[in-house]
């Protein structure tokens, strides 16, 4: 009793301290409870405007969490908050979930104790693993970019295993130089592993595919005209009206047209990419240039050698079908009325003389005219065409000229004869 009297002040202080401690402990247990800390972490996790890095510990010691490199993770959960609740729920056993993506998330993300607050209360942080996406492309010497930053060079087999990144929604880019032209492509992907994870095991792929969409094709149009793709001049057709485009980048909605040296603009081809993916088929009896009958519509077609050809047409020109029918008639049965200036036209004399010579041949048969191209030629319609007999090419002419007079077509000039090669017209590579 005397002891208590003598130490009354000390006992009182101890009791007060104990009360304070237990109040402090109760306050701290509530404030720093797992549920409160997890709720705060999840709130920041789905809000890309906030800095997540103070709440994160990287499972990869070589990657330091920063505001920027964690944004892809935040953007993902901003779009998919329900998935975040599932993987951090204490009521769900992720081992029983069939969804491959949720399983990948549970392997990469966890909220675990990391140190203490005020010595007594566990501090919880979000442990985040890293991924190394595997990517294939279709051009050698390419470079991989992730979220606009250079990541790694592709190997010689056009494959790369990226340097580690945090998971989430990433902007992947591939850049390459092809034929001295810089090419690139970009796409946005959900990345939760080395390969795409869709949740459907049977549909999984071994790697992310990021191809630069290029096409190799031949353009046929007016000789010496300038070619434009997406309103940018990209080249000039030669004197034969041809331009070979090798591995040119073709994106969604690409438009192509040409302007002749006389200032005439061709009919534009819109959505060139879609037309190249589903081209018209050419005549199997022809090789690199074909007897395609079009009616003032620009066409994209594939030869029987699987080569792409873009044939331009022009407003206010005689249609290819009508030009071909007319020249078939003229070469098989030339008459003065079908020629400008009649029998005094030098082309009339030449065709009649040539037809007479062919009629004396033991191999005589009908002449076939195959129009290769129709284009404006000043006030006339220019034509490029091939003359053949018995499936053998006899001659090729460029810059032939037709004129329409009183609903009749007349030939002004046969044009200039070209060198004939019976093997192929042009090598498309």
pLDDT in tens, the chain (429 residues): 555 555 666 767 777 777 777 776 767 667 778 888 899 999 999 999 999 999 999 999 999 999 999 999 999 999 999 998 888 876 556 565 557 888 889 899 999 999 888 777 889 999 999 999 999 998 888 999 999 999 999 998 999 999 999 999 999 999 998 777 788 888 899 999 998 876 544 445 788 998 888 889 999 989 899 999 989 999 999 988 899 998 888 877 889 999 998 899 999 999 888 888 877 765 433 444 433 333 334 578 777 677 889 989 888 888 888 999 999 999 989 999 999 999 999 999 998 887 777 776 645 567 889 888 889 988 899 999 998 888 888 888 988 999 987 788 999 999 988 765 543 343 333
State the Cα–Cα distance between residues 395 and 361, nearest whole angstrom. 16
User: Has residue 20 been placed in a domain?
Assistant: no
Q: How far apart are CA 413 and CA 396, in angstroms?
A: 14
* Residue 64 placed within a domain: yes
- DSSP letter at 293 equals -
Q: How far apart are CA 96 and CA 2, in angstroms?
A: 67
What is the per-residue DSSP string for 337-352?
Answer: GGBTTGGG-HHHHHHH
Structure tokens at 200: 């459907």
Q: Are residues 31 and 121 in the same domain?
A: yes
User: 116 in a domain, yes or no?
Assistant: yes
Within this chain, do residues 88 and 170 fall inside the same structural domain, yes or no? no
Look up residue 336 and give its DSSP letter.
G
Half-sphere exposure of 169 (CA within 13 A, CB side): 11
> What is the 8-class DSSP label of residue 266?
B
DSSP structure string for 58-75: ESSTTS---TTTTHHHHH
CATH code: domain of residue 356: 3.10.450
- Measured from the Cβ of residue 343, the count of other Cβ atoms closer than 10 Å reads 12
Does residue 40 lie within any of the structural domains? yes
Q: Is the same domain home to 373 and 405?
A: yes
Q: Is residue 15 part of a domain?
A: no
373 and 403 co-located in one domain: yes
18 inside domain:
no
Residue 93, SS3 per DSSP: coil
Q: How far is CA 327 from the centre of its chain?
A: 42
My answer on whether 122 and 138 are in the same domain is no
Q: What whole-number distance in Å separates Cα of residue 214 and Cα of residue 211? A: 9
**Residue 87 domain-assigned?**
yes
Residue 99 belongs to some domain of the structure: yes
Q: How many domains does the chain have?
A: 4
The two beta strands, 232-236 and 226-229, are antiparallel
Helix (H, G, I), strand (E, B) or coil at 14: helix
Work out the angle between the directed axes of helices 34-45 and 71-79 (0-180°, nearest 10). 90
199 with 290, same domain: the answer is no
Structural domain span for residue 273: 214-311
Angstrom distance (rounded) from CA 20 to CA 26: 10
Residue ending a domain, choose from 162, 189, 209: 209
Judge if 181 and 231 occupy the same domain: no
Q: In this structure, are 112 and 170 located in the same domain?
A: no
Q: Count of alpha carbons within 13 Å of 116, Cβ hemisphere only? A: 6
């Amino acid at each position: 009793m005397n002891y208590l009297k003598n130490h009354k002040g000390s006992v009182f202080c101890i009791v007060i301290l104990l009360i304070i401690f237990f109040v402090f402990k109760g306050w701290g247990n509530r404030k720093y409870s797992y549920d409160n800390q997890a709720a705060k972490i999840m709130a920041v996790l789905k809000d890309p405007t906030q800095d997540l890095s103070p709440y994160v510990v990287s499972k990869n010691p070589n990657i330091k969490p920063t505001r920027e490199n964690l944004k892809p993770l935040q953007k993902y959960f901003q779009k998919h908050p329900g998935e975040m609740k599932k993987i951090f729920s204490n009521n769900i056993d992720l081992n029983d979930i069939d969804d491959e993506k949720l399983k990948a998330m549970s392997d990469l993300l966890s909220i675990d104790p990391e140190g203490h607050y005020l010595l007594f209360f566990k501090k919880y942080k979000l442990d985040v693993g890293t991924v190394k996406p595997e990517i294939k492309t279709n051009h050698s010497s390419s470079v991989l970019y992730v979220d606009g930053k250079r990541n790694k060079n592709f190997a010689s087999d056009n494959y790369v295993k990226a340097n580690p990144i945090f998971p989430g929604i990433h902007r992947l880019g591939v850049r390459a130089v092809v034929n001295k032209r810089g090419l690139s492509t970009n796409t946005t992907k959900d990345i939760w592993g080395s390969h795409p994870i869709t949740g459907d095991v049977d549909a999984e792929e071994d790697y992310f595919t990021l191809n630069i969409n290029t096409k190799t094709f031949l353009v046929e149009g007016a000789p010496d005209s300038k070619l434009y793709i997406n309103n940018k001049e990209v080249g000039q057709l030669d004197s034969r009206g041809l331009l070979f485009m090798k591995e040119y980048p073709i994106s969604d909605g690409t438009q192509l047209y040409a302007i002749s040296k006389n200032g005439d603009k061709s009919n534009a081809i819109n959505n060139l990419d879609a037309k190249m993916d589903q081209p018209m088929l050419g005549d199997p009896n022809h090789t690199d240039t074909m007897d395609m009958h079009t009616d003032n519509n620009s066409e994209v077609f594939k030869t029987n050698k699987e080569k792409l050809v873009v044939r331009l047409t022009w407003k206010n020109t005689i249609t290819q079908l009508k030009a071909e029918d007319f020249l078939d008639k003229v070469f098989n049965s030339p008459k003065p009325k079908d020629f400008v200036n009649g029998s005094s036209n030098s082309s009339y004399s030449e065709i009649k003389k040539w037809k007479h010579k062919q009629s004396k041949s033991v191999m005589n048969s009908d002449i076939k005219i195959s129009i290769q191209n129709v284009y404006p030629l000043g006030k006339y319609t220019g034509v490029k065409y091939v003359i053949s007999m018995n499936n053998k090419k006899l001659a090729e002419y460029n810059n032939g000229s037709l004129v329409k007079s009183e609903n009749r077509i007349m030939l002004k000039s046969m044009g200039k004869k070209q060198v004939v090669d019976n093997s192929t017209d042009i090598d498309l590579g």
